[in-house]
Amino acid sequence: METTHSVGLVERQYFTFAEDEPTPLDSGETLGPITLAYETYGKLNADKSNAILILHALSGDAHAAGYQAPDDKQPGWWDDCIGPEKAFDTNKFFVICSNVIGGCQGSTGPSSINPQTGKPYGLSFPVVTVADMVRAQSDLIDHLGIERLLAVAGGSMGGMQVLQWTVSYPDRVRAALPLATTARHSPMLIAFSEVGRQAIYADPNWNRGDYYDGVRPNSGLAVARMIGHITYLSETSMQQKFGRNLTRARFGYDFDTDFSVEGYLRYKGNGFTQRFDANSYLYVTKAMDYFDLSNGQHSLAAAFANSSRVVYLVVSFTSDWLYPAYHSKELVSALTAVGADVSYCNLQSTWGHDAFLLEVETMTSLISNFLDRVVTDFKIALPEQPDAACLIQTPRLEPSPSLSLPQDAKQG
């Protein structure tokens, strides 16, 4: 267990609500009771004004930083950016991350027990939306006694939740960091989601979602993950990492694994089945496809009409072809139209969509500067630290159509 600049050992916590009165969902159905699994890092200040909510992507969970056991080899999924002196500095901030409803890592989802039947929900679990996920998170923030979050931050589906927070609860958020994300899924993105779902449906063990007492549809889920994982990379990163390298001395002229990239995808797909539920994959990808901030509005700007007091940092990456930069630029245009304070950076990277997780040095500098500015502007009293008097106030980030950093900012 590596402890340098780590939050150390952490414990998963649980919050259960909607026990007496089920929560209404966008679908018209209700859900209750609801349990959210979550973790916290750092110290909440006296007036509870230094809290940051981290929002995870499709395959993420509440375990964003630190280690859950002394013998853990891998820390939380965003450990590079959450901890002492990191982008989300736990010497300064109280950081929260929860697993979304519909998930499978402790929060209520299709693999949870339906209290009315005593069996897993399966497909009887109601379809949920990103807005439903955010409403549940709002109940968690109430439970923690926090009136207003200093910031909400996340990439990909996490970025969708960030945007939904600023639209649904603009008075409860001071700053927002939507990273490598979009205001709506394009037809191409919906198509990728559907192919992944079809892979699960085609697995004979899926049994229309009723597989919890038998063999799980791991083959279908693994293929779905392989498809999705390709979209997180870029052609350049795949060329640099794999090229046309072989797994054996020469072609086998059979259908075993010949190329390194084939073996990599199989490894990622099979590994995913050890920690994720096939039904949750269906529900979470459907929530992403349904997400559209402009739905019911005459424009995207109209959706942000009440969010102009939130301070935004929007980040995209040059090699991200899943959510290309034009998605972020559309967000920036809409936010600018309503007079929001928005900074935008289109970062040079070869890592593709996963760059928000991998460009650690660049993201640390960018996020740290932005949060220091937010702390200064809103006069947030941070928890006392030995060197608190030496904290340097960073200059305000100005909106920019594109900020390209050196190609070698973070490689390898």
Q: What is the DSSP code (8-state) at residue 278?
A: H
pLDDT, tens digit, for every residue of 384-401?
764 433 333 333 333 333
List the CATH code of the domain at 1-183+291-412.
Answer: 3.40.50.1820
In the three-class reduction of DSSP (H, G, I as helix; E, B as strand; rest coil), residue 342 is classed as strand
pLDDT for residue 358: 96
pLDDT, tens digit, for every residue of 100-120?
999 999 999 999 999 999 999
Centroid of chain to Cα 330: 20
**How much is the CA Rg of the chain, to the nearest whole Å?**
21
Is 353 tagged catalytic?
A: yes
pLDDT level of residue 3 (50, 70, 90 thresholds): low
Q: Check residues 402 and 195 and name the one with the higher pLDDT.
A: 195
Residue pointed to by tokens 């070698």: 408
pLDDT, tens digit, for every residue of 172-188?
999 999 999 999 999 99
Q: Which among 46, 33, 35, 315 has a CA at the least distance from the CA of 178?
A: 315
pLDDT for residue 384: 77
CATH architecture of the domain formed by 185-290: Orthogonal Bundle (1.10)
Is 298 tagged catalytic?
A: no
Q: What letters, b where the CB count within 10 A reaches 16 and e where it falls short, cover 362-379?
A: bbbebbbbbbbbbbeeee
Per annotation, catalytic residue among 89, 132, 320, 372: 320
Residue 127 to residue 147: CA distance in whole angstroms: 29
pLDDT, tens digit, for every residue of 209-222?
999 999 999 999 99
pLDDT, tens digit, for every residue of 372-385?
999 999 999 999 76
Per annotation, catalytic residue among 98, 156, 307, 349: 156
pLDDT for residue 2: 61
Percentage of the chain lying above the pLDDT 90 cut: 91
pTM of structure: 0.92
Domain ranges of the chain: 1-183+291-412, 185-290
CB 239, CB 319: distance < 8 Å? no
- pLDDT for 224 beyond 90: yes
Per annotation, catalytic residue among 237, 280, 353, 354: 353
Interval 68-82 mean pLDDT:
96
Is 219 tagged catalytic?
A: no
Q: Which among 187, 176, 30, 226 has a CA at the least distance from the CA of 115?
A: 30
